[in-house]
Amino acid sequence: MAEAQIINIDGEKISTIELTDQIFNIPVKKNVLHQVVTAQLAIRRSGTASVKRRSDVKGSRKKLFRQKGTGRARRGDIKSPLLRGGGVVFGPSHRSFEKKVPKKVKRLALKMALSSKLQGDDLLVVNNWEPKLIKTKDFVQTTAKLKIDNVLIITEKENPKLELSARNVSGCKILRCEGLNVYDILKYNKLVLLEPSVKSIEERLLV
Q: What is the pLDDT of residues 155-193, one digit of tens each?
A: 998 889 999 999 999 999 999 999 999 999 999 999 999
Q: Locate the domains of the chain by residue range.
A: 2-45+100-205, 48-96
pTM greater than 0.85 (yes/no): no
Please report, rounded to a whole number, the percentage of residues in the chain having pLDDT higher than 90.
75
CATH classification of 2-45+100-205 is 3.30.70.100, yes or no?
Answer: no
The H-assigned helical ranges of the chain are 21-24, 30-44, 103-119, 136-146, 160-166, 182-187, 195-205
The pair phi, psi for residue 73, each rounded to 5°, is -65, 155
The span from the CA of 144 to the CA of 127, in Å, is: 17
How far, CA to CA in Å, does 19 sit from each of 2, 26, 61, 143? 5, 12, 71, 24
177 contacts 200 by C-beta, under 8 angstroms: yes
Which sign does the torsion angle of CA 152, 23, 12, 134 carry? positive
